[in-house]
Structure 1
């Protein structure tokens, strides 16, 4: 077991990250007053960029497979009988 008095805290980066923790906290606090509350709160330009890229890839894959995905449904006539 590690003695908390002598443990070295983990290093989380090299202080060259673009994010400002104080500004991030302000954004979080402001978001709590928003109506409606955000489902996801991205903090930092890099988070926005990575999320936009991921969403674009997901949208492209969804479009590419949409017809195949729809073929998994019951036929329209069978859906009316249920």
Structure 2
């Protein structure tokens, strides 16, 4: 299982670089988007506390490297069976 970690500032920066139609109201990111991310993260770690969760820092690793790692993990898991 993977958790894709994104620090607040990086998430906010990426979010505000996008254009949304209709535009989101003032405070939407902090009041809803970030809150939902924090809540989902907490619930995931509580629900799957007994499972191995790989934390992937998407601010520090390129998507190509992340994809390569996940594909490699899947291949290893398939060959173990």
Q: TM-score, normalised by structure 1?
A: 0.31
Q: Which has the higher helix share?
A: 2
Higher strand content, 1 or 2: 2
**TM-score normalised to the size of structure 2?**
0.31
